[in-house]
Amino acid sequence: MEKRFHCFHCNLKIGKTLYYQHKKKYYTPSTNTWQKVAQDQEADTDEFYFPSDESENDEYPDDNYEHNDVDSADEQTDLSDDSENEIENSVTEVWFDTDDVDDSVSQTTTFESRTKKTVRFYIMFLLLWQSMFKLSDSGMTVLFLYLSMILSLVLAPVNIEGIQEFIDMVPKSTSAAKKLIGEVGDPFLKNVSCPQCHSLYSLHLCKIVNPDKSVSSLHCSHVAFPNHPHSRQRLPCNAQLMKTIKTSSGSTSLYPRQMFCYQSIIEVLRSKLMTPGFFEKTELWRKRRVETSTLRDVYDGRVWNEFLCPGGIPFLSAPYNFALALNVD
């Protein structure tokens, strides 16, 4: 069967030879456009020539005609028209407006972001208030729980979109509030300290679960003089590490008799050095007003000046060098 080509000039299926004649005459490769027949003007049907089967494989007679990638793409598109029409007839098309979906998702995301910012501001204000007035974490937990209950009672009956999401975001404890604003937990490592010899023990090792499921305190096993010739001096400390306290609910619990808290100096320095503007502030002392007869700060003291160039090597006199001082009370 003879191959037919779709001509964009006359908008008809025509033979190969006539197609290339029209293409050479009405197609502009630079703009990839066809000159089409006017709507009020009918195509000249006498111009159409339908070659026989023998001329199906004839080459286009113009040797100067050059094919390009656009031509081959047009041919592939034209040749696949029939198969595409068959597929289109057998497939049911389903159309939906994605703009509505995108708008609803965007509005939901914006609302959630705005609600979270509001809750974060509310939490940061309360935590700042706690820091200013030296309130305990247990007291703040009661306050957060109370405010959460008040908001639920007052705002829940109000028919406002998103009010329930706002109530659910409000934390009910101090730890949950700090977690919501991205604040890390307690940076201190807590150990149980023996009240007599000050030996350190991990908190989770100081509670002993007895066979009857009761919990008792661990006793200190430190021996101060393990090589002493007298056996009495080689006895363990045996001090009780935990004490029994009664909670507000009436139950009993074990609590350390003495705690030792430790924070890594490396973590402290890392948090300081990562604070924006920290390096600039450490260099402000160089721009201070100096009075030779007055000691105003540590920078005016003898020890500081001795470390400016110890041994002739610049130390504190060079920028961005730090000195650590250890204070013992």
- The answer to whether the CB of 167 falls within 8 A of the CB of 155 is yes
From the DSSP assignment, how many helices (H) and strands (E) are in the chain?
10, 11
User: What residues of the chain score a pLDDT lower than 50?
Assistant: 40-105
pLDDT of residue 132: 84
pLDDT score recorded for residue 17: 83
Q: Where are the alpha helices (DSSP H) in the chain?
A: 16-26, 69-79, 81-90, 98-133, 137-155, 163-169, 174-180, 265-273, 278-282, 302-306
Q: Is there a contact between 79 and 13 (Cβ–Cβ < 8 Å)?
A: no
Q: What's the DSSP call for residue 318? A: S
Per-residue pLDDT at 323: 85
CA distance 180 to 116: 9
Q: What pLDDT was estimated at residue 226?
A: 92
Q: Is residue 245 a contact partner of residue 255, using CB atoms and an 8 Å limit?
A: yes
Q: Which residues, listed in sequence order, are joined to residue 217 by a DSSP beta bridge?
A: 207
Report CA-CA distances (Å) from 188 to 14, 103, 197, 328. Answer: 86, 47, 22, 19
Give the strand pairing for 27-28 and 33-34: antiparallel
Residue whose C-alpha is closest to residue 10's, from 33, 30, 34: 34
Residue 67: in which H helix or E strand, if any?
A: none
Beta-bridge partners for 262: 189
- Tell me the whole-structure pTM to 2 decimals: 0.41
**First-to-final CA distance of the chain:** 105
Q: Strand 215-217 to strand 242-246: parallel, antiparallel, or no bridges (unpaired)?
A: unpaired
For 307, the 3-state DSSP assignment is: coil
Residue 111: partners with Cβ closer than 8 Å, 6 or more residues away: 162
d(CA 311, CA 301): 18
Q: How is residue 261 annotated by DSSP?
A: E
Could you report the per-residue pLDDT of 148-176, keeping only the tens digit for each? 888 888 877 777 766 777 788 888 888 88
